[in-house]
A and B are shown apart, each in its own frame.
Chain A
Amino acid sequence: MAPLTPYTYIQCPCSDESSPDADDDDRTFDPRAARSNYSLYGLEYLLYCEDCHQIRCPRCVAEEIVTYYCPSCLFEVPSSNIKSEGNRCTRSCFQCPICIGPLAVNSLEAQPDQTHLAAPDTPSASHGGPYILTCSYCNWSSTETGIKFDKPNSIYSQLAKLYNGGEHRLTPKEHKERRKEALQASAVSGDPLPDQTLDVETHFAALKAFYQSQLADANASTTGLSSLEGLGFASPASLSRIMSIYTGGSLHDKRAKSRIGTMREALTSDEGLQLASLDESSSISALRLHHASTIPPTTYQHQTPHLGALPPHTGGARFPSHLRPIPCLLRTKRSKRCPLCRHIISKPEAKVSTTRFRIRLVAGSYVPSISILPLNIPQPSPDGALAPLVPAQFLLKFLNPIFEPVRVTLATPSKTPGRFGAKVTVLCPEFEIDANTDVWEDALKDGVAGKDVAAGARVRRGTVGEDGQQQPEVGKIWERGRNWVSIVVEVVPASLRLDLLAATGKFAGGEGVDAGPLREDEDVLEIPMFVRVEWDADTGGDDVGSGVGKDQKEAKEKRELAYWCVLGLGRVRQ
């Protein structure tokens, strides 16, 4: 078992109200409940609204798009293209269908060792075509699916016109024209049009065209029949009459039936009817031969069909010959607003090439961070696991990031929730932390430079024992620094023995003791802790954390922030 690094997660207060047990005021937050994972965040994932004085998580912010871009070529995509051309880069940026590494455009004539990653649209090799896409990580190449390109640029549009194996794929428009010609030819020759297998997009286009023509016809004829409603073409009421999808009524309701109108079924592949070819024996033969090279479902299931993809049941998705290069998903830069006061709490630079933010109110600048250090761990296992039933002590170091001193109040249940409740004692649940004053101000004040100030300002509050070691004391903090305080928490982990659990359950007369096997991570000692932070803030301006105007002490306002967090201390020995 890997040793566990202590951790803290914060529950965004927004999830508290959505909890179904919210009316139970005394309820202790159970970090191990399955739902808790959806409301707990690492501090670095949380933002903060200065106006509402509240933590904001990804679930409780309103987002706006600043820019759309391709993460591979950094090309900025106009927002109008997203709806019309989709969510992928339409230039030459592709991911490997096997390992999702970036694919490079290479000339087929180039030496095989020339696999330097060429920037898209500017292949370094000045070789002539044909060109292929290659992965430098797993050595996949588009030749494995029979795909080559004439030009080294605009791979996306070239790929849209190619099926695997290299067969030309008609665009829906070309397809229409081709069928029109065939129709004329068949009218002359008298032969019926042959049915054909359509790919998903062509199938969709055929059905759409068919339905639209049927609706137009049906509408034309029904207006003559029942002019009562006199409805125009795209009228929802007439459509509902024709499609009658929602209507209840019995099966043989003649009235309902007569309302269905004259829209008929699709009858040919032109109209979108596709007969299923159920015979998959050739795929089974392929499986027999190539079973070792089948693609795990996790590789292809997570891809949505894109251009030129096969119809759903071609059975071949598992074979490498059916893979398609994955066009890079576009990304967005988003600014985030508080949903209540609409103030912007995060706004990135619009420029694609930078990862900087113009505004970013991270919760870490407002909420004290908690770090966990072992203080006194008796009889630890070699892997650092805690001994059951033996008191262990941890230091919790609270760091105050704001420019005001804060009062912190902690509350933990005396016994952690769950089957193996550990006893928890916070030796000093109430304390103050000094303001995060400018290091240089301190330096000027004391005439000492830089970091030594903080070190010099350390004050230990505990008593020193006979052996020269500091002893934790109830009601006293352990150590204090410039803008931090450490306190001691003592835990007595429960035994994880299931037989004991069953026995104590019986002893206590409890019938419903769950003596089932140990669940995943049930051996991790997690403490739910309710943190309340109070401070007096300036009311003068919006700049609570800016440190400006800290001499104008007259206008102060009491502020409070309260939330649950969970401290992961370590594993308990089994």
Chain B
Amino acid sequence: MASSLGSAPLPHRSVANIRSPGPGSASGPSTPLRGIQSSFGSPSSLRADEDLLLIELGTRKLHIGFAGDPVPRGSVWFGPDQQRRVGDFRVWQPDHKDNWKQRAACGQWGQDHELWKSDVRGLDLGLVSDKIERAVREALTKYMLIDSRPRRMVCVLPSGLPIPMLSTTLNTLFGRFAPPTISLLSVPIALVVGAGVRSALVIDLGWSETVVTGIYEYREVHTSSSIRGGRMLTEQTHKFLAARLGQGQDSTSAGATEYLLSFEECNDIACRLVWCKPSSHSTTGTPDDGLATVDEQDETEAHTHHDLNPQIDIPLRSCEPPKSLSVPFDELTEPCENAFFDDSRYSRASFDDHELPVHILIYRALLQLPLDVRSLCMSRIIFTGGCANVLGLRKRIFDDVSHLIQERGWDHVMGKAADEVRKKSQTKTQGTQPAGNGGGSKSPRDDQSNIWHDAANSSPDADPIEEQLKKASSSRPTVKGEMRAIESLGSWSGASLITQLKAPAIATIDRDIWQQQGAAGASRATEVDPKGQRQSLGPGGLIRGAASSWTLGVWGVA
């Protein structure tokens, strides 16, 4: 595999430096204690075979539980509390003062709340390893209440996770917790299973980025992302508040942004008060006509909602001296607007793909999908990620995307052109406005329910499987071609379902093999005979193919 490694890997995809030691060295970076293997190692009597630990790692938190449970047993958030020396209680002393300004001046505004960042360059992977280890250890002790016998693990990871981070994760878990095997599942697949569908468009409004993944028959067929996410929302919230404190950020100066408020306070306000205003193309009425989410509070407010745009008092404690801001309620939509939709700062052509506004990102993702896949995916939109909790954001995105479809249609991907479009540059596709073309093929059929039907998609290609599916569900035909959002249990719970159904993981890695070969030993997924890869996660049901070939699934090879 070494030769394939050398063939033009991206700089951050190189695993040569971080993989576990070669077969020659028994102890090294990944083996913390000489001889720990021999004592913790394989005697099966020492293993707790019945428990399968399911761990989901995200940028800001970790979920842990037993596979088969509906929800995780605990969550650990990465944060400054995790990063102190054991026994350092200075922050709890009454005279302690938070030095957030000092941290911010060194470019640490919220980074201490993250496990990793999407750019591996300059990332201290050893520190990532320490963070994972401490968080997992805390989770095992506090929430799982288990002893330290080795247990098989299932890891749910973002499918775009760069190889060095995946490798660090595996090194840490294998080296410190000695599971006999670790199985990998990807977040989008887990979400799809957790929604009860086989195909979907997963919109992950995550912390460091928004990732759009097209899934067709449990396979990831498209992924694109934009840096518009929780971090940007928090930054925009700071900008919003700082401007109202009378000291706008001096973004023209060459230096980094000067922060007037702490990350923690801005994040708090972003989570509590920032909301998203409805789409200008929305066909539903004013926010007050809402029926969907019934709140107990509605009963009392029915009598009192005369002021639709009250002044909101926001106490700010992290500035010097503490202040209180009064902001009209409607203006609290501004950070969300700037973070997810704003395109004014760039000319359309100059958008980097990784900073597209989310509705354009999603429209383009749909546009790039083949016709039949698209019609299935657009009817199975799954919103997930922390920012999905911004009130009104999901509906706004949904309406804006629906509007884009209505306005532009899929003209460029009709018929035989479909394949070409996938190869075409996106900006080119975007540039030519399809205003006059093929109006008949994209007329909204059902305005009242605000569901848009794509007539072109309602004629599926003949397919024996589809026929069978139809037969099986004659009462309710497969929904396709119309915009529809569905809920998923979430990625942890979806992964728990997959595991409990004894479905195969994307990849299952054996501890001994990993410690000998590291990520460089993984074959390309396509090089492996699927039959050799059939492995199940069920209790005692592990069937392993030829040990000589194994893969990292969608995470590929370096």
Contact = CB atoms under 8 A, between A and B. Distances in A.
A83 B291 contact: no
A318 B216 contact: no
A37 B536 contact: no
B33 A264 contact: no
A9 interface: yes
A290 interface: yes
Task: Report which residue of B51, B271, B313, B383 has the largest number of chain A beta carbons within 10 angstroms of its beta carbon.
Answer: B271
A519 to B, nearest CB: 5
B102 A519 contact: yes
B109 interface: no
A246 B507 contact: yes
Contact of A313 (B83, B388, B464): B388
Interface in B474-514: 475-476, 478, 484-490, 493, 496-498, 500-507
B36 A87 contact: no
B105 A517 contact: yes
Given A281-B287, A292-B313, A332 B145 contact: yes
A59 B395 contact: no
A421 interface: no
Interface in B366-395: 370, 373, 381, 383-384, 388-389, 391-392, 394-395
B497 A203 contact: no
A63 B293 CA distance: 46
Given A212-B501, A239-B501, A251 B124 contact: no
B251 interface: no
Interface stretch (B126-134, B151-159, B237-245, B403-411): B126-134
B534 A275 contact: no
Interface string B203-228: 00000000000001111010000000
Interface string A288-332: 111110111110011111100101111111110100000001111
A18 interface: yes
Contacts of B288: 281, 285
A266 B106 contact: no
A337 B280 CA distance: 64
A85 B544 CA distance: 32
Given A265-B198, A288-B308, A234 B487 contact: no
Interface stretch (A38-46, A464-472, A530-538): A38-46
B133 A267 contact: no
A245 B473 contact: no
B554 to A, nearest CB: 9
Contact of B395 (A41, A62, A234, A278): A278
Contacts of B126: 19-20, 35
Interface stretch (B297-305, B352-360, B432-440): B297-305
Interface string A232-273: 001011011001111111010000011010111111100111
A201 interface: yes
B162 interface: no
B271 A297 contact: yes
Contacts of A237: 534, 543
Contacts of B143: 87, 304, 329
Nearest to A338: B39
Contact of B275 (A38, A63, A284): A284
A451 B133 CA distance: 46
A472 B268 CA distance: 54
B391 A315 contact: yes
Contacts of A448: none
Contact of A312 (B127, B469, B487): B487
Given A243-B504, A281-B288, A251 B196 contact: no
Interface string A327-352: 00111101000011010000000000
Contact of A283 (B105, B133, B293): B293
Contact of A284 (B75, B392, B488): B392
Interface residues of A, number: 130
A342 B218 CA distance: 46
A35 B247 CA distance: 36
A457 B77 CA distance: 53
Contact of B145 (A60, A65, A257, A298): A65
A201 B70 contact: yes
Nearest to A318: B272
B415 interface: no
Given A287-B275, A520-B103, A18 B175 contact: yes
Given A266-B197, A517-B106, A520-B102, A283 B391 contact: yes
Contacts of B295: 282-283, 286, 316, 319, 321
A391 B127 CA distance: 35
A297 B298 contact: no
Interface in B527-553: 530, 533-536, 538, 541, 543, 553
B35 interface: yes
Nearest to A523: B102
B262 to A, nearest CB: 13
Contact of A282 (B292, B473, B533): B292
Interface stretch (B7-15, B91-99, B114-122): B91-99
Given A279-B395, A285-B305, A273 B124 contact: no
B321 interface: no
Contacts of B175: 18
A126 interface: no
Contacts of B445: none
Interface string B2-34: 000000000000000000000000010111111
B142 interface: yes
Contact of B329 (A68, A291, A306, A519): A291
Given A201-B70, A272-B196, A318-B271, A251 B373 contact: yes
A312 B505 contact: no
Nearest to B287: A281
Contacts of B301: 285-286, 289
Contacts of A521: 99
Contacts of B137: 58-59
B286 interface: yes
Given A246-B506, A265-B198, A304-B71, A274 B487 contact: yes
A59 B176 contact: yes
Given A18-B32, A65-B147, A278 B329 contact: no
B312 interface: yes
B83 A37 contact: yes
B86 interface: yes
B322 interface: no
B253 interface: no
Nearest to B63: A304
Given A15-B32, A38-B134, A281 B289 contact: yes
A246 B312 CA distance: 51
Contacts of B74: 87, 304
A89 to B, nearest CB: 12
Contacts of B124: 34-35
B465 interface: yes
Contacts of B105: 516-518
15 contacts: A38-B134, A45-B87, A62-B40, A208-B501, A212-B501, A246-B553, A251-B219, A266-B197, A275-B484, A276-B383, A279-B291, A312-B490, A318-B272, A339-B36, A340-B36
Given A208-B501, A279-B290, 13 more contacts: A20-B126, A38-B133, A42-B86, A42-B87, A207-B489, A240-B536, A248-B530, A265-B478, A266-B197, A273-B197, A279-B395, A304-B72, A516-B106
Interface of B: 27, 29-36, 39-40, 50-51, 61, 63, 66, 70-75, 77, 83-88, 93, 95-97, 99, 102-103, 105-106, 124, 126-127, 130, 133-134, 137, 141-148, 175-176, 189, 194-198, 216-219, 221, 267-268, 271-273, 275, 278, 284, 286-298, 301, 304-305, 308, 310, 312-313, 329, 370, 373, 381, 383-384, 388-389, 391-392, 394-395, 398, 463-465, 468-469, 472-473, 475-476, 478, 484-490, 493, 496-498, 500-507, 525-526, 530, 533-536, 538, 541, 543, 553
Going nearest first, the 8 A-B pairs with the smallest beta carbon separation are: A42-B87, A266-B196, A281-B290, A236-B536, A281-B287, A204-B70, A277-B292, A278-B395
